[in-house]
Amino acid sequence: MIEQAVEYAGVKERLIRLREVRARVSLGASTVYRYLAAGKFPRPVDLGGGRVAWRESEVDAWIANRPEADRRGRG
């Protein structure tokens, strides 16, 4: 897998694809996109050609701020 990064607010940011996002948040793709549509998940970066990736720091922050009940599968 090719490591991708973008410069964001003057800081080089690692981008992660859906497979890694799913592994980190323990959710399926449809749930990630449902949360995204509801405004409950970080927006991805458009890489072009129909490809997207998420800023690693935003996914990490989402995990850290996720309510405890939601982490247990009740949210």
What is the Cβ-side half-sphere exposure of residue 17, based on CA atoms within 13 angstroms?
A: 8
Low-confidence residues of the chain: pLDDT under 70? 1-9, 68-75
Say which CATH number the domain at 48 has: 1.10.1660
Domain with 17 in it: 4-71
Q: What is the pLDDT of residue 35?
A: 97
The string of DSSP letters for the chain reads ---EEEEETTEEEEEE-HHHHHHHHT--HHHHHHHHHTT-SPPPEEEETTEEEEEHHHHHHHHHHS-HHHHTT--
β-strands 11-16, 45-48 pairing: unpaired
Domain count, the chain: 1
Q: Residue 1: its pLDDT value, please?
A: 46
